[in-house]
Structure 1
């Protein structure tokens, strides 16, 4: 999807910049009532729908 978006824009750098900016955002802490249900760390990777930002950026840079 990232490569497709870069292709639609005609340049890959805006997509790389957007991913880098999103990757730099610090997610908020879960509310205390929800912390027991939070999935973090390596276990969280099992439930992730997207690769880490670093991998997505690296893939775009190789295009």
Structure 2
């Protein structure tokens, strides 16, 4: 269930980034130095990537 939630959050984040990019004429908006400084947790995609190893059946 956690993987499904993280995947949904990742997709939502991707849609938001695409909408902001489209609103700025297709030019990606750079993340501000302050927002990078305050971002202390990995993004959803990174979390999901690291979680995949635990979702694989044990042999």
Q: Which is richer in helix?
A: 2
TM value normalised by structure 2: 0.50
TM value normalised by structure 1: 0.47
